Every structure is written in C-alpha cells, then in structure tokens.
Amino acid sequence: MTDIKNFNVGSSTSTKKKGKSLPPKLIIKLGKFVWETMWHTMMSKIAPRNPSGEYIRPSSQFRNFISAEKGNLYPAVAGRYHLYVGLSCPWAHRTLIVRALKGLEEVISVSVVVPSPIAGGWVFNQEEEGCASLAQLYELAQTGYTGRATVPVLWDKQTKTIVNNESAEIIVMLNSEFNELALNPTLNLYPEGLKEKIDWWNEKIYNSVNNGVYRCGFAQTQEAYNQASDELFTTLDEIEAALETSRYLCGDNVTLADVRLFTTLFRFDVAYYGLFKCNRHRIQDYPNLGGYLSDMYQLQSVAATCNLESVKQDYYGNLFPLNPGGIIPSGPDMTYLLKPHARHRVGKSADLQV
C-alpha cells in the first residue's frame, strides 16, 4: 500500500529529484469537496430537494380512473389492464397486495421491472409493448413525456396508455371496481364507515413514515434529516400506542391504511434502518409494531408478494449515492415474521378471512 506521506506530486519512477509531499489533509479536503459536489449532483437527479435540503417527492402525473359503471372511458373488464411493478418498491408493493387479497390475479396481469443504474431507471427483462425501459413506455403513453418514469403503472392494453401511476388511487380502484370479477368480492379494505379514519391514518403515515423514510435517506442537510427522523419516530411511537388496543389501525380488520403502512414496515429493518439512517429503533424492537408486521405478513396471499432479496439488492445495489461500494449486507434476520404473534388477542379481534 502506498504511503501517502511519500506521495510526490509530479514525480515519476525515472525522476530522482524529490518534490514536496502533498499534506494528507489537503488530499482529504480535495477528495471531500469532489465527492460532496458529485453527491449533490447525483442526489438532485434521484431526489429533488427544496432550499433547506429536504427531499420533495414529485406528484404522479397520470390520474385517470377505472370504473365498474357502464359508459366509463376505462371500464372494469378482465384482461384489459396490466400492472408494471418493481418488487423492491413499497409503492408498487401496495398494488400487488390488494390484487392478491381481492383475488384479481386472473383479471389483471403483472410484469416486473428492475432498476438499472446504467440506464438510470426501471428496465424490462424483455421488451414489452416494443419498449426496453419504463421510460420508453411512458413516452409511448404520452409523446414528449419528460417526467419521472415510476412504478406502479396501471396500463391499458387496449388504448396503449397509462391509466394511473399513483399507488394510493390504484389500490382504491382494485378494492372496489373489480368486485364482479374478483375471487374475494366481499372483502372491503375501504369501508364507508371507516373512510374518515382510514384517510386520517393515510395522511399521517404518508407524510412521516411512507415518505418519511425517504426524507431521512435523501436529506441533504443535517437539519432536514433531523426533522424527518424526529417526525418518523414520533409517528411510529403513536402507531405503537394505537396498536396496544387495536389489532389493526382501524379496528379488527385490515384496511387500505394497513396495506400502505405494511409495505414501508416490511422494508424498514432491511433497508431503511441502515441505508436511510432510520436507526433509532428497528421495527422488531417495538412490541406491538413488530407483532403487527408479522400479523400482516402472515395473512393469506401477502407473503407471496414480498421479496426480501430484491429489496436488499435494489436498495443497496442501485442507490449508488447512498452506498458507493454497492456492498449488499448479509442481514438482518427476518425469520421473526414467521413466528406466532398473538395479535388476534388484541381488541375484539376477528380473523381476516381471505
């Protein structure tokens, strides 16, 4: 290994005259400046920020709706719609869970895209709709599109366009508009009598937990990180307290609020705890949240939508600015997800039948 003290600027093996050594602190200072400049440049591409260095998530651009009502531009029919998802993405994972719980696997087809640092986005394993990447699919849907190409995508195979790319809206459609085609039509994850409470939890959880972990991981100033981290763990503490007397967020049965929370919690100890610096507590360290996560994971059809290896590979292997070496950690041990959780004893408890 070369001793930095003996490194001579402008020297060569054929030159006998020794120059002055470059002080190590200057090399470190220069390296830090170069890396920080490159880091901010790369982060600006994957994580737009405000002047305070806080991550600002762009809004989804395609917001049309499928409806079971006759005459709608996008009617709820079998075989017409297709989901594009990334297995590591928590937003896309929501749609897979609701699709599975409702029994819509034969009604709405799915393709999995994978992240490519070289391509700078999601790509297909093989061409779909004549496209090699998700960005090209967006361009096919809207000529001249220059926004972000994100998952999930609810695609209309008939008109060759994107119906919707907002996960919160896609799962509402999957829950209610395909009941005549679903294997579990009576399962209602967004019941009328609980909508106000579900929406309240959704707003709180989105700001400080779902998006909160990204606000921690993508923060570009210490102040932005501190605020996001404090809000994240304050909300997790609130959820922990609520789950003391309630099996799920809104009572005895699973709702869309639980689906939206679960996909973040599932990735928390694996990716967000370490890579995103959300390391104040692990989810499994919370008595109620840990059991709740196991409860959700063990619901029929849910575990089949979860892929821990893809989560680790995609987060640690592809978010270069956060993990330049690309080293994938061997842990953590997540076998606790399969252990008995006793959550059915909380509250009035009625086991979800799916």
Q: Is the pLDDT confidence value at 11 over 50?
A: no
The pLDDT of residue 19 is: 57
Report the percent of the chain where pLDDT is more than 90.
74
Q: What is the pLDDT of residues 208-227, one digit of tens each?
A: 999 999 999 999 899 999 99
Q: pLDDT-based confidence at 117, cuts 50/70/90? A: confident
**CA separation for the pair 214, 52 (Å, rounded):** 15
Q: What is the pLDDT of residues 155-168, one digit of tens each?
A: 999 999 999 999 99
Which residues, 6 or more positions from 163, have their beta carbon under 8 angstroms from its beta carbon? 62, 64, 65, 66, 74, 81, 154, 155, 156
The residue that leads in pLDDT, 19 or 246, is 246
Q: What is the mean pLDDT of residues 223-240?
A: 97
Q: Is the pLDDT confidence value at 10 over 70?
A: no
The residue that leads in pLDDT, 209 or 348, is 209
**Angle separating helix axes 222-242 and 287-297, nearest 10 degrees:** 80
Q: Hey, what long-range contacts does 195-202 have (CB within 8 A, 24 or more apart)?
A: 197/249, 197/250, 197/257, 198/249, 198/250, 198/255, 198/256, 198/257, 201/249, 201/250, 201/257, 201/261, 202/168, 202/256, 202/257, 202/260
**CA separation for the pair 188, 198 (Å, rounded):** 12
Q: What is the mean pLDDT of residues 283-302?
A: 97
Q: Which of 19-28, 133-142, 323-332 has the lowest mean pLDDT?
A: 19-28
The pLDDT of residue 353 is: 42
Burial class (CB in 10 A: 0-12, 13-18, 19+), 281: middle
Alpha carbon 238 to chain centroid, angstroms: 22
Q: What is the pLDDT of residues 43-53, one digit of tens each?
A: 555 566 666 66
Mean pLDDT score of the chain = 88
- Which helix (H) or strand (E) segment holds residue 14: the answer is none
Catalytic residues: 89, 214
The pLDDT of residue 14 is: 44
Q: pLDDT-based confidence at 321, cuts 50/70/90? A: confident
Q: Is the pLDDT confidence value at 193 over 80?
A: yes
Domain boundaries, the chain: 46-187, 192-345
Q: Is the pLDDT confidence value at 176 over 90?
A: yes
Please list the alpha-helical segments (H only) found in the chain. 24-46, 90-102, 134-141, 167-176, 195-205, 212-217, 222-242, 256-267, 287-297, 308-318
Q: What is the CA radius of gyration of the chain?
A: 24
How many other CB atoms sit within 10 Å of the CB of residue 139?
15
The pLDDT of residue 44 is: 56
Q: Is the pLDDT confidence value at 38 over 70?
A: no
**CA separation for the pair 152, 159 (Å, rounded):** 18
Mapped onto helix, strand or coil, the DSSP state of residue 104 is: coil
Whether the Cβ atoms of residue 84 and residue 111 lie closer than 8 Å to each other? yes
Q: pLDDT-based confidence at 34, cuts 50/70/90? A: low
Q: What is the pLDDT of residues 47-72, one digit of tens each?
A: 666 666 666 677 778 999 999 998 89
Number of H helices, E strands in the chain: 10, 6
The pLDDT of residue 133 is: 97
Strands 161-164 and 153-156 turn out to be: antiparallel
Mapped onto helix, strand or coil, the DSSP state of residue 77 is: coil
The pLDDT of residue 60 is: 79
Q: Which CATH number fits domain 46-187: 3.40.640.10, 3.40.30.10, 3.30.499.10, 3.10.20.740?
A: 3.40.30.10
Rounded to the nearest 5 degrees, what angle is found at the Cα of 61, between the Cα atoms of 133 and 162? Answer: 55
Q: What is the mean pLDDT of residues 281-290?
A: 98
Whether the Cβ atoms of residue 65 and residue 164 lie closer than 8 Å to each other? yes
The pLDDT of residue 139 is: 97
Q: Would you state the structure tokens that stand for residue 253, as one six-digit string?
A: 């049965």
- Edge-to-edge strands of the sheet including 121-128? 131-133, 121-128, 109-116, 81-85, 153-156, 161-164
Q: Is the pLDDT confidence value at 244 over 50?
A: yes
Bridge partners, residue 67, by sequence: 75
Burial class (CB in 10 A: 0-12, 13-18, 19+), 338: exposed
Q: Is the pLDDT confidence value at 39 over 60?
A: no
Architecture per CATH, domain 192-345, reads as Up-down Bundle (1.20)
The residue that leads in pLDDT, 169 or 220, is 169
Report the percent of the chain where pLDDT is more than 70.
83
Residue in the structure block whose two tokens are 């405000």: 50
CA-closest candidate to residue 148, choices 157, 158, 137 = 137
The pLDDT of residue 234 is: 98
Alpha carbon 131 to chain centroid, angstroms: 24
Q: Would you state the structure tokens that stand for residue 230, as one six-digit string?
A: 């404090």
The pLDDT of residue 99 is: 98
